[in-house]
Chain A
Amino acid sequence: MVATAATSAFIPVPSPSAPDPGFKPKKLANLGGMKSKLTSSGGLQVKANAQAPPKINGSSVSLTTPVETVKHEVEMSSSSSSSPPPRTFINTLPDWSMLLAAITTIFLAAEKQWMMLDWKPRRPDMDMLIDPFGLGRIVQDGFVFRQNFSIRSYEIGADRTASIETMMNHLQETALNHVKTAGLLGDGFGSTPEMCKKNLIWVVARMQVVVDRYPTWGDVVQVDTSVGPSGKNGMRRNWLVRDYKTGEILTRASSVWVMMNKKTRKLSKIPEEVRGEIEPYFLDSDPVVEEDSRKLQKLDDNTADYVRTGLAPRWSDLDVNQHVNNVKYIGWILESAPLKILESHELAAMTLEYRRECGRDSVLQSLTAVSSNGVGNLASLADIECQHLLRLEDGAEIVRGRTVWRPKYAENFGTFGQLPAESA
C-alpha cells in the first residue's frame, strides 16, 4: 500500500539507549521504537518496541503540546495499541493532507505509547514492600520524589471526580515530603536549616496546573515532583501526576517560588549557604507545562461578571502559622464561577499569581469574569476562559487567576462527530 510505504520512511529505527521517565533533562527527547505492520484485515497497527527508544534526528519533542493534542485523537481511536486508522486514509490515495494527518496520528500515538513505556510492569506487592504506607520515595538518581495517593471518598466533588483542591493538596503534600525526605526540612514547613537560621521562607509566586483527566474515588495516582532553578533567585517546582495503573498522565503542574524574610516580609536573594543546600537537588528539566506568560488582568467591580462576598476562613483552612493554606484560595476562586460553567465544563487549566497572604480574620471577595466562551452561549461545546480575582474587602489583592474550562466528556467526542455513548 502506498500509505504504508510512505509512513515507513518516517518510522524511526530503535537504538540501544536507556529510557528515561517523566522529567527529561534538556536533550533530545526519545520516542518509543515502533514497528508498523499490516493486520490481516488491512488496518495499520502500531506496536511499541519495548526494547529501547530511538532518537528522532534533529527534532526535540517536548512533553507539553503533544500530550494535549494527542488527547483528542488518540483517545478517540482507543486506549489500546491496535487502533483502526481513519477510514478515509486507506480508501483514498493519494491525499497528502490525510497522509499528513495519518503520520501525525501515528507519531503521536507512538509518543503516547512511549510515555506509557517507561511504565515498567508493576508489581504492587513490591511497591508495598518498599513503601507500604505511601510515604513516598526518591527516584531517578535522587532528583525526583514520588508518592502515591489513593483518592478518598471525601475528596470527590459533585461530579464524582477528585476536585481540583484534592489534586492541589496532593501536590503540596509531595512537595513537603520531598523536602523532608531529602533531609532539607528545617523547622516549619519547607524551609531548609540555613533558611531557618536567616529567617527566610519560601513563598509561592505563581502556579500553573493543567489537568488532562480527573481521577475518581478509589483510583490511585502517582505524583512525581522535582525542583529546579527559576531565574537567579527563584525556584521552580514541577509535578507530574499519573494514573498508577496505566501510567496515563493526569495532571501537570509547575510553580515558581521566591524567598522572603519572614520578619521583614521583604523578598530576598538566595544566600550562598542556601544555594549550597538546595542546588544539588536541582534538575534542570524541560518545562512540564507550557508557560502561560500572558499578563493576568486585575478585575474590578465593573469588569467582573460574578462576585461572591463574605468569604471567611474557617479553622480548618489555616496552616500551622495561622495563615490560609494556598490551596484554599482555589476553592474561593471557584466560588464565584457561574454554576452553569461548573455543571457543563470541567477545569482544564489554571494559572495563579499569588500576591498577598491572608489570615483568620480576613474577609474575602471572589470576582470572576468570563473572558471568552467560544461561539455562542455558555452551554456551547467550546472551551471557556475566565479571569479571577480574590481580594480583601478593602481591595487588597490576594490572588489573580485565569482558568480554562473544557466541556465535560470532551474525550468522548470523536473526530467523526460521534456523540458520547453514555454520559457518566
Chain B
Amino acid sequence: MGRGPILTRGHRRNAVVLGSGSGSSYKGPILAVVSDRVIGSGSGSASGTLADRLRLGSLTEDGLSYKERFIVRCYEVGINKTATVETIANLLQEVGCNHAQSVGFSTDGFATTPTMRKLHLIWVTARMHIEIYKYPAWSDVIEIETWCQGEGRIGTRRDWILKDHATGQVIGRATSKWVMMNEDTRRLQKVSDDVRDEYLVYCPREPRLAIPEENSSSLRRIPKLEDPADHSKLGLVPRRADLDMNQHVNNVTYIGWVLESLPQEIIDSHELQTITLDYRRECQHDDIVDSLTSVEPVEDAEAVSKIQGTNGSIAATENNEDLRQFLHLLRVSGDGLEINRGRTEWRKKHAR
C-alpha cells in the first residue's frame, strides 16, 4: 500500500496510533488518528452560549481538537465551479480562530494566551501547507478538524483535516507552523515555558500529524527562484478588503497573489493540488508587490512517486504532464525584499 495519503472510509472506529509509546520523542511513523465520531452541534451540552449552539462546531469529547462544519457558499466558488483555494484557506483560518476561542483564548483573531497578551506577544505564520484532493462544490458541507501542538522551542503548529461531510471522505489536509513575535518590536521570540504550558493543555499528548509521511512536501525546503523568472505579474496592490484588523495584509491574500503569475494555460488545464508558502516578511497596506513564478523540474523520482502514490518506479516519470510543479516568489516591488516563497503542485483536471 505504501505511504500514500491517509484516506478514511466511513466507519473506521478507534484508529490505532502506532509508533513510540508515551514519550516525548517522535521515533517512527505515526498514523494520523482520525476520530469518526460525529460531533453534533449542541451535542448534549446544556451550557454554552446561543452562539455556541448555533455554531456548527465544537471541541471534540477529549477536548484536544475542534471540529466544525461549513457550507460552501456561492460566492466562494470560482471558475471551476468549486471552492477556490482561498476559500479553503479562509475556512482553515476560521476554524482555527473558533478553536482558539472555544478554549478561551483571545477573540481578537490572534489566539493569544493570557500570558502572551500581557507580554504583547502574538503568533505569526511561518509556513502554511495545504493539500486538496477533491475540491468541494457550492452547497457541499465540509467538516474540518483542527488541533495544535508545540513545535520545538520556537514555535507551535496547527494541523487540519478536511472531510466531505456527506461521504466522510478526506478531501484535504493542511499543516502550518507559527512563531511568536512581539507585536510592538516585531521581533521573534522563543516560546517561554509558561506560555507553552498555557496552550499545551489543549493539545494532543502524543504528536499527531495531519500529514505524517516523512517525505511529505510540507517538510521540503523551498529554494529562492532564480532570476529571471519564467512568469511574473508585477505591481500587485493590497485592497482594503485584504487588510486584517491591524492593517496588515492577511495571509490568504498572499495565496491569491502567488496564483496571479501563473500562466493561463495551467489555470485552464490543471487544478491546484498542493501549495506551500514560507512567510518571510509582512506586507503593509501601501506596499506594491511583484509575483514571480518559475517551473520547478520534478527531477527526483521519489518526489514524483510521492505525488502519484507509487513506490519509486522510473516509469512514473513518463506522466509528467499530468503533474506540474512551480516555485514562487513574492517580493516588494521597489527594493526586492522577499515577502513569501512558495511551491505549488498541480494535477491535470478531469472532465467533470
Task: Give bound CA distance, A176 to B72, whole Å.
Answer: 13
Contact B93 A153 (CB under 8 A): yes
A133 within 8 A of B: yes
Contact B267 A315 (CB under 8 A): yes
B84 within 8 A of A: yes
Contact B94 A160 (CB under 8 A): no
Contact B54 A335 (CB under 8 A): no
B103 within 8 A of A: no
The interface stretch among A26-34, A137-145, A318-326 is A318-326
The interface stretch among B15-23, B208-216, B233-241, B295-303 is B233-241
How far, in Å, is A391 (CB) from chain B's closest CB?
Answer: 18
A2 within 8 A of B: no
Closest to B90 in A: A154
Contact B237 A165 (CB under 8 A): no
Task: Give bound CA distance, A398 to B235, whole Å.
Answer: 23
Closest to B53 in A: A124
Known contacts A244-B54, A318-B78: A135-B84 contact under CB 8 Å? no
How far, in Å, is A91 (CB) from chain B's closest CB?
Answer: 41
Report chain A residues within 8 Å CB of B250.
154
Known contacts A124-B53, A218-B51: A315-B74 contact under CB 8 Å? no
Report chain B residues within 8 Å CB of A189.
74
Binary A-proximity of B68-92 (CB < 8 A = 1, otherwise 0): 0101011101110100101000110
A62 within 8 A of B: no
Report chain A residues within 8 Å CB of B339.
none
Task: Give bound CA distance, A127 to B241, whole Å.
Answer: 32
Closest to A160 in B: B245
Contact of B239 among A125, A134, A318, A331 (CB under 8 A): A331
Known contacts A152-B90, A169-B75: A124-B50 contact under CB 8 Å? yes
A172 within 8 A of B: yes
B259 within 8 A of A: yes
Closest to A326 in B: B75
Known contacts A154-B250, A310-B235: A133-B56 contact under CB 8 Å? yes
Contact of A124 among B42, B79, B260 (CB under 8 A): B42
Known contacts A133-B141, A172-B74, A315-B267: A153-B240 contact under CB 8 Å? no
Contact A153 B109 (CB under 8 A): yes
Chain A 159-209 interface residues, beta-carbon cutoff 8 Å to B: 160, 163, 165, 169, 172-173, 176-177, 180, 189
Contact A318 B90 (CB under 8 A): no
Closest to A245 in B: B50
Contact B252 A314 (CB under 8 A): no
Task: Give bound CA distance, A325 to B247, whole Å.
Answer: 25
Task: Give bound CA distance, A66 to B269, whole Å.
Answer: 55
We find that the number of chain B residues with CB closer than 8 angstroms to chain A is 45
Task: Give bound CA distance, A244 to B53, whole Å.
Answer: 13
Contact B93 A133 (CB under 8 A): no
Contact of A135 among B41, B71, B86, B91 (CB under 8 A): B71
A156 within 8 A of B: yes
Report chain A residues within 8 Å CB of B244.
158
Report chain B residues within 8 Å CB of A172.
74-75
Contact B75 A325 (CB under 8 A): yes
Contact B241 A157 (CB under 8 A): yes
Task: Give bound CA distance, A320 to B79, whole Å.
Answer: 4
Closest to B82 in A: A320
Closest to B92 in A: A154
A9 within 8 A of B: no
Contact B94 A318 (CB under 8 A): no
A132 within 8 A of B: yes
Contact of A315 among B71, B79, B107 (CB under 8 A): B79
Contact A133 B247 (CB under 8 A): no
Contact A316 B86 (CB under 8 A): yes
Contact of A220 among B51, B69, B245 (CB under 8 A): B51
Task: Give bound CA distance, A342 to B239, whole Å.
Answer: 13
Contact of B73 among A157, A173, A331 (CB under 8 A): A173
Task: Give bound CA distance, A271 to B129, whole Å.
Answer: 51
A15 within 8 A of B: no
Contact B240 A133 (CB under 8 A): no
Contact A173 B240 (CB under 8 A): no
A4 within 8 A of B: no
Show the binding face of A for B, using Cβ within 8 Å: 124-125, 127-128, 132-135, 148, 150, 152-154, 156-158, 160, 163, 165, 169, 172-173, 176-177, 180, 189, 217-220, 244-245, 310, 314-316, 318-320, 322, 325, 327, 331-332, 334-335, 342
A–B pairs, 11, beta carbons within 8 Å: A124-B53, A128-B41, A128-B42, A133-B56, A133-B141, A135-B71, A157-B240, A158-B245, A180-B139, A218-B107, A319-B79
The 3 closest A-B pairs by CB, nearest first: A154-B90, A153-B97, A169-B75
**Known pairs A158-B240, A319-B78, A331-B241. 7 more at Cβ < 8 A?**
A153-B97, A153-B109, A158-B244, A220-B54, A315-B259, A319-B79, A320-B81
